[in-house]
Structure 1
């Protein structure tokens, strides 16, 4: 079966089911082998720009759309199934754009649209994609494995009292400041925290900085959508130079972390469970400090102070090289 995916999370699900997509989006980079696959999408946004500039570009592109589809390449791939999304027309190409592109090619592939706003939705998407690709047994196995990992972790946090749960804020954009929505509230709760700035399933949206200060988070995770740790470091001043940043409890107590928002938090596929396992030792370090528990940090997660240090060191080295 020729499967084309138009967003990274769909690519990861298809790959986890034992299939190799014949075409992917320009953003698909995991598993690493998919980067060699033909890309059928293009972005009109400079993804390397600053957070505020990207926000302006997205607003300017609202009329014409953020993404284009290479219909010639799509036709050459002769797809039987195209997996797309209807959740966010900024994060990935929208289903309407995909529908229009399919009408322009000679083949008539099936179209499967994902629209996840919770972990349960993501698990359901695994089942749906498994059914559509004749990988139902593998989908059941994968879903059971993910559910078992979630259940094992939640055993540590389910009985925590409200007083034992720190106030957590997760930012998935820094200028403007946006509080992560959708599945994030569930992940934080399962990890042992209180997520008072958004309800489960609520979409991410800009927040007034005073609202953040009033909430006074005890633990902060900075995970801008689409940013790796390097790009997050380059935009940290969006937060650190705001009035009252240094007075936040999380900052004063050194409980601020950076997370690769591209690979972890903002990709609704199997690795959302990896995100949960990375969040748990951040939110509840006393519960998750054993050798058999998820480590407090990995290649996609780092204390913000360490990220700032590395960023400063890199900038100093660049300056020396230029001089």
Structure 2
């Protein structure tokens, strides 16, 4: 690692990667959404949303869409905070303008800095293999060859956990069909790494394609597919907020006729802390799904704090 690196992470998953690599003390700034591990919450906040992130899922969706339709970014980068922090490296993303500050936002902010020109590391994972590669890239860019070599140990430990789930589910003949809901209103299924996690956990993903963005979902398609299991994992919502925002699902007339509802196989998860963050805790997300799908095979202890039955 170079002398006294000063890292600013503008996306929660990157903050978790920095912590995994043992560089928590080098983290001098974070985004308003970076909240894990709890020890980093005293770092200065470098971003803020341009919309009120409160209200129903439909209201939040409408505010975000209005900003995007007017060609405005969804988040602000606090240039004056970056100026004071003088970072050597800034971690950001180029995947989703709704989830976090965009690469363009960061580049514009850096252009306004007068005291430093930090190196920008932009992450854009779509599947598990990309997450492992991002860990390698962050290690290499900040710490050089030595750090990159050490990162392989951390990646290997995560891959062992993934392989454990894969091995135990490999010979399951009857895999439950699964619908993962990433947003309640308008209805959206989960994409990117989530379909891959579903398959690794011993399920059959009905909606979304591994490596592709989350698709909007028609209620008629959900009813026609009639999944064995429904997992609700709204982007940015914890368990409490997820339960509060179930009305668009549970009050839809077709809801009570779904197989998953009648067999009591609807599950709520903390999507904010797990499934929506393409970092080290995707291994936890996989284990959560394995617990839900096959409780006879898996018990990692997530029930209650990471997921609940409806």
Q: TM-score, normalised by structure 1?
A: 0.90
* Structure 1 residue 9: Cα displacement: 0.4
Provide the rounded CA distance (Å) in 1 between the counterparts of 2:304 and 2:109.
39
Which residue is equivalent to 1:231?
241
Which 10-residue stretch deviates more, 99-108 or 294-303? Answer: 294-303
Structure 1 position 123, deviation (Å): 0.8
Moved more, 139-148 or 295-304: 295-304
- In the alignment, is residue 148 of structure 1 matched against residue 160 of structure 2? yes
Superposed, 1:180-219 pairs within 5 Å as 180-219=190-229
From 121, 134, 154, the equivalent of 1:112 is 121
Q: Specify which of 10, 16, 23 is matched with residue 19 of structure 1.
A: 23
Question: Which residue does the alignment assign to 2:96?
Answer: 88
RMSD (CA atoms): 1.1
Are 1:160 and 2:172 counterparts?
Answer: yes
Equivalent residue for 1:295, pick from 296, 301, 305? 301
Q: Deviations over 1:141-174 (max 9, x none)?
A: 110000011111111111223xx11110111100
TM-score norm. by structure 2 comes to: 0.94
In the alignment, what sits opposite 1:248?
A: 258
Residue of structure 2 aligned with 1:102, choices 90, 110, 116: 110
Q: Distance in 1 between matches of 2:215 and 2:108?
A: 28
**CA–CA separation in structure 2 for the residues paired with 1:139 and 1:298:** 31
How many residues align? The count is 298
Q: Provide structure 2 residue ranges, at least 5 long, that are not aligned to the other structure.
A: none
What corresponds to 1:222 in structure 2?
232
Larger mean CA deviation between 152-161 and 267-276 belongs to: 152-161
Residue ranges of structure 1 left out of the alignment (5+ in a row): 305-323
Contact 1:172 1:225 in 2 (8 A): yes
- Any conservation in 2 of the 1:282–1:296 contact (CA below 8 Å)? no
SS in 2 for 1:139: helix
Q: State the distance in 2 between where 1:139 and 1:177 align.
A: 38
